[in-house]
Amino acid sequence: MRNDFLPMPALVEDVIVETPTIRTFVLQLAEPMPFRAGQFVQLFLPGVGEAPFTPSSSPSEPGRIEVTVLAAGRVTAALHELAAGAEVGVRGPFGRGYPLHELEGHEVVVVGGGVGLAPLRSLLYTLFERPGFARRVSIKYGARAPQELCFRSQYADWAARPDVDVTTTIDRPSAGWNGRVGLVTTLLDGVDVDVRDACAVSCGPEIMLKFVARKLVDVGFRAEHVFLSMNRNMSCGMGICGRCNVGSRYLCKDGPDLSYAEVQAVPYALG
Amino acid sequence: MVRGITPAALAELARTLTATHDVFAPRRCGDRLVLDRLASAGAGELPWNAYRLPEPLKAIWFQPGRILARWPRRDGETAPRPRVLFGAKACDLKAVACLDRVLRDHEFKDPGWCAARESTLVVAGDCTDCAESCFCSMLGDLPYPTGLFDLCLSPAEGGYLVETGSERGERLVADHAGLFSDAAPESVERRADARAELAARVRRQNERFPVRDPFEKSVSKHDRTRIWAELAATCVECNACNMVCPTCHCFLLHDVRAGDAALRLGLWDSCFSAGHARMAGGLTPRLQLTERFRNHYQHKFVAFPRNWGITACSGCGRCIEACMGRIDKRECLHKLETRWIPSEVAQEID
Ligand SMILES: Cc1cc2nc3c(=O)[nH]c(=O)nc-3n(C[C@H](O)[C@H](O)[C@H](O)COP(=O)(O)OP(=O)(O)OC[C@H]3O[C@@H](n4cnc5c(N)ncnc54)[C@H](O)[C@@H]3O)c2cc1C
Ligand code: SF4
Ligand code: SF4
Ligand code: FES
């Protein structure tokens, strides 16, 4: 019988330093692992532990995936010590992935905070690879400081695509920064999409999700069209270990992305 | 077909099986019975447990600290020795049905659970008495096995009636035909009477907790009320209720080094502990005990039936016996149904 607790071997092919606290690991998998944008994997360090990450690369390359990792604690700190050539393990993919069918034919506002842009990048690649699938892609991204902005070198390329725009902001003024200042929610005031019809997909810290969701509904989005990557501790990925539930759902199986309408139906789901 | 077996023949069957199987059976320990592995030597009849044993069956199939995987993969692992389990009661088997849903009957399978289930012969038995804490009746369940057993024993004159519940059970009887006899039709009738009588007794002992509504309704209507603070008032967060519960299956995936290799362990865990759902950065979705207390009920009585079509409580009463704060699940369920004071609705946070 297949053992879903046993990771598949993978080789760290390259390590890209994105920001002082975020690195992207390019992984060559022993076998391709087909996944949908928004599905996550468990990255395993033998004898150390495991942590969940949503690949930041395109699902069209299932044998060579990238995960973008913020150093946030024990396992992620150990991952940041790795150099090219290291052997790790990968399990997955887990979860439902982004609700692409909901996005088809709509304007899509993508709202990211910090390392939250990493999972969203695989959605962006998916949308970019299917011209016309979304009527428009409007990217709103915030980080604490200019040097914390992830994937900085790519924004110009993204914005050069037809029907794609990118706006970034940083939390506090910083020397040499001429862009916008303020929380990512400030980018949503007067957002120029047809709010009654548009969809939004957001990933970032829980507190950010809460205010992004409220703001989007305030400016006219329908709660059913706002999708949030819910933050929960995930371990088994299979609906067994019992730590990732939001109400009756196990986010590792039914998520991690839920619509704001689904989230509101569960008491105290967003802090 | 129902057969008969004497206590001496049953003991012989159990001891014969030890040659090829790990046999788990009730063992006397002071004035209590516990579930233990049966030694091959030694004579004497198997003690009869009149109701469920203190240990939940997950203790042998989903052990407190089991190896989930070895890294790197080691090929040619030996299959576990087949097992026989004596002493399972109806509520134990209902809990097995719950765990089968989570650990076996969907796209992800827990290989350890599947192998253990596959390789264990279950010799169940009717309840012939009940503990003060037994409340299977409140869940609409009966105190005798109706499925998921290979053999089911019911005490009868001169020994036990034996009913087979699977092909495997039939084979077991056929392989040891000399140990079994034909059952008298009167004893089969008497079994029905005894079963009905005990079912009525369990119902009677729980009449002081009258409930009418489905628990799903009683629990969900308190999604946002403050009743949980009252129910959890004496909870000391010892996690005992979850540890003894036969349907609880939360575990911590814990990685350790073992020489050049690495082991992945599954350790029993409990949703009552504050760190259970802790995330990086320290944020915990259910920081307050009251929220974790509600989650325990929400999961057993609302989420589980919605997700798997079965309530994740068998009414075995182990959590009642284990509770240091003397919290009685029946009383809580009764209060959840009967208490509904709109002014208690907490300020909505979100
Ligand atoms: C679906 C999903 C996708 C994600 N995608 C990304 C991504 O693309 N990029 C990214 O950077 N991050 C992502 N994350 C977040 C990432 O998984 C966490 O940052 C990571 O798990 C942190 O692990 P750590 O061991 O470094 O942190 P730690 O804080 O050391 O540990 C995290 C876990 O360890 C346990 N733990 C540690 N200390 C304690 C304690 N004192 N008491 C109790 N428990 C403790 C807890 O279970 C805790 O949840 C994602 C998370 C999820 C759920
Ligand atoms: S919740 Fe209590 S009564 Fe119900 S199955 Fe678990 S231990 Fe038994
Ligand atoms: S709860 Fe019911 S089935 Fe379980 S031991 Fe008690 S009487 Fe028997
Ligand atoms: S991660 Fe284990 S149940 Fe979801």
Please tell me if the CB atom of residue A60 comes closer than 6 angstroms to any atom of ligand 1.
no
Identify the nearest ligand to the CA of B58 by its number. 2
Contact B283 A76 (CB under 8 A): no
What is the predicted pLDDT for the residue at B344?
Answer: 47
Q: Of A48, A240, A249, which is closest to B110 when you measure between CB atoms?
A: A240
Residues within a 6 A CB radius of ligand 2: B 244-247, 300, 313-319, 329
What is the b/e burial string over A151-167, where b = at least 16 CB atoms within 10 angstroms of the residue's CB? beeeeeebeeeeebebb
Asked if pLDDT for residue A194 goes beyond 50, the answer is yes
Rounded CA gap, B161 and B183, in Å? 7
Q: A21 CB under 6 A from ligand 1? A: no
At residue B213, the pLDDT reads 84
- Domain ranges for chain A, please list them: 8-94, 100-263
User: Which residues on chain B are in Cβ contact (under 8 Å) with A262?
Assistant: none
pLDDT (0 to 100) of residue B347: 47
Q: Is the distance from CB of B331 to CB of B259 less than 8 angstroms?
A: no
Q: What is the mean pLDDT of residues A190-200?
A: 94
Q: What's the rounded Cα separation, in Å, for the pair A221 and B345?
A: 29
* pLDDT the model gives residue B174: 97
Judge if the upstream peptide bond of residue A93 is cis by omega within 30 degrees of 0. yes
Q: For chain B, list residues with pLDDT below 70.
A: 41-43, 75-77, 340-350
Sign of CA dihedral A249, A252, A253, A256: positive
Tell me how far apart the alpha carbons of residues B311 and B321 are, in angstroms, rounded to a whole number: 20
- Residue closest to B143 by CA, chosen among B81, A243, A202, B152: B152
Q: What is the pLDDT of residue A147?
A: 96
Q: What CA–CA distance (Å, rounded) separates A169 from A157?
A: 18
Domain A100-263, CATH 3.40.50.80 — does that match? yes
> Residue B147's closest CA among B134, B164, B159?
B164
Confidence of residue A269 (pLDDT cuts 50, 70, 90): confident
pLDDT at residue B343 in the model: 45
Fold of A8-94: Elongation Factor Tu (Ef-tu); domain 3 (2.40.30)
Q: What is the pLDDT of residue B41?
A: 64
Residue B202 in contact with ligand 3 by CB distance below 6 A: yes
Q: Do A6 and B71 touch (CB under 8 A)?
A: yes
Q: Average pLDDT of chain A?
A: 95
Count of A-B CB contacts under 8 Å: 122
Mutate to test the pocket of ligand 1, among A16, A74, A232, A253 (most ligand atoms within 8 A of CB): A74
Closest Cα partner for B324 from B233, B230, B196, B214? B233
Please give the full DSSP string across B27-91, using - where no structure is assigned.
Answer: EEETTEEEEEEPPSS--SPPPPPSS--SS-THHHHS-TEEEEEEES--SSPPPPPPEEEEEE-HH
CB contact under 8 A, B264 and A264: no
pLDDT tens column, A171-182: 999 999 999 999
Kindly state the percentage of chain A with pLDDT values over 90: 94
Q: What is the distance, to the nearest Å, from the Cα of residue B222 to the centroid of all Cα atoms in its chain?
A: 27
Residues in chain A within 8 Å Cβ distance of B225 = none
Same fold, A8-94 and A100-263: no
Which ligand has the minimum distance to the alpha carbon of residue B141?
3
Dihedral sign of CA atoms B40, B43, B49, B50 in order: positive
Which of B117, B121, B45, B116 has its CA nearest to residue B84? B121
Structure tokens at B86: 């004596």
Q: Looking at the partner chain, which of A231, A240, A248 has a beta carbon nearest the beta carbon of B303?
A: A248
Residues 6+ positions from A107 with CB-CB distance below 8 Å: A134, A135, A136, A137, A138, A193, A194, A197, A198, A199
Residue numbers in A near B347 (CB within 8 A): none
Using CA atoms, how far apart are residues A191 and A185, in angstroms rounded to an integer? 10
